[in-house]
Amino acid sequence: MRWKGRKQSTNVEDRRGTTVRGGGGGPVAGGAIGSLLFALFRRGSGKTKLILIVGVIAACFMFKINPLSLFMSTPGGGSGQVVSNKNYKPSAKDQEMFEYLSTLKSDNEIIWKKILAAEGMQYRPAKMVIYREKTTTPGGIADARMGPFYLPANETVYIDPSFFRELEERFGAKGDFAQAYVIAHEVGHHIQKLLGLTDKVHSQQGRISKEEYNKLSVRLELQADFLAGVFAHHAQEKFNFLETGDIEEAMRCAEAIGDDRIQQQSQGHVQPDLFTHGTSAQRKRWFMRGYQSGRINDGNTFNVRYEDL
């Protein structure tokens, strides 16, 4: 993939020089402290309540803690806070990764602005946070083991680039265009949010069975693959950025992260009821469909019979 020398997005934040304090056994055990304080507050007299309020505010001020973080609890065990590591100096490789991701992000912004404008819609760029190991999000702590993801609540893509190494070493999917596909898929989720599809699917959670919800999730994910293909189609027209083997890199990546492949690899058998992203074959098919067509209207994964996806 040719990417050097193009515009870079300003909507990218590099947090690799930060760590997260608290949230899961660190100095600030977020939710746990909050629950304890709340219990004391409920049982205490008027005077105790006042002391608690003043005490918490003073402590938060002294230790530079966001008071809200004491009361937020996440699966990770707390919300934590981002602390910058003053000794961090990006290596040449880190810097190149930042430039690569910022360029790709800008490419996506340029292409999607144009596509949505043609549909009479306005594009609002997503943000991107590059982090290492852990970072905070409005929904709790992001952990690199979760892989890259898009958070609809603040329209942000979170990525620890070490995922690309894992993709290469564990899943055998290497190359800069495999990475571009991953990012374009996440931006695809942002497009779904702008189109109102994400909210439609998420609103069904808890209202339908887990199996039915997983099926909706598969439809949403395959559509994000399709949108990644639509991006590749238009970006090729505009930037002529593809090199020989790039589309194959994306295909190998889609193949590697299909639910059937991952389940087979991790547990030795396949459970279609638990699919949330689609099979390797489906992911490849929908990316290719988007790449060949370039029209978002050809990617309605919600009105296709599930068996025909």
Q: Which residues bind Zn ion (CB under 5 A)?
A: 221, 224
Q: Per DSSP, what are the bridge partners of residue 149?
A: 158
In which residue are the tokens 């978002």 written? 296
Closest to Zn ion by CB, 29 vs 257, is: 257
At 213, which helix (H) or strand (E)?
helix 210-239
Q: Which is nearer to Zn ion, 81 or 217 (CB)?
A: 217
Q: How far is the CB of 149 from Zn ion (least distance, A)?
A: 7
Q: How far apart (Å, rounded) are the C-alpha atoms in residues 309 and 306? A: 5
Nearest to 30 by CA among 63, 83, 74: 74
Provide the 10 A C-beta neighbour count for residue 44.
13
For the bound state, the minimum distance from the C-beta of residue 10 to Zn ion, rounded and expressed in Å, comes to: 25
Q: What's the closest the beta carbon of residue 90 comes to Zn ion, in angstroms?
A: 28
Pairing state between β 134-137 and 140-143: antiparallel
Q: Are 162 and 135 in contact (CB under 8 A)?
A: no
Minimum distance of Zn ion from residue 151's CB (angstroms): 12
Residue type, 137: T
**Cα 65 from Cα 152, distance rounded (Å):** 26
Quote the least distance from Cβ 224 to Zn ion, whole Å.
Answer: 5
Q: Is 245 exposed, middle or buried (0-12, 13-18, 19+ CB in 10 A)?
A: exposed
Cβ distance to Zn ion smaller for residue 241 or 286: 286
Identify the residue whose tokens are 């690899």. 265
Residues contacting 185, CB < 8 A, separation 6+: 224, 225, 227, 228
Quote the least distance from Cβ 47 to Zn ion, whole Å.
52
Residue with tokens 């790709």: 104
**Structure-token match 């050809």, residue found:** 298
For the bound state, the minimum distance from the C-beta of residue 185 to Zn ion, rounded and expressed in Å, comes to 6
Backbone angles phi, psi at 158, to 5 degrees: -110, 130
CB of 258 to Zn ion, least distance (A): 12
Kindly tell me which of 70 and 184 has the beta carbon lying closer to Zn ion: 184
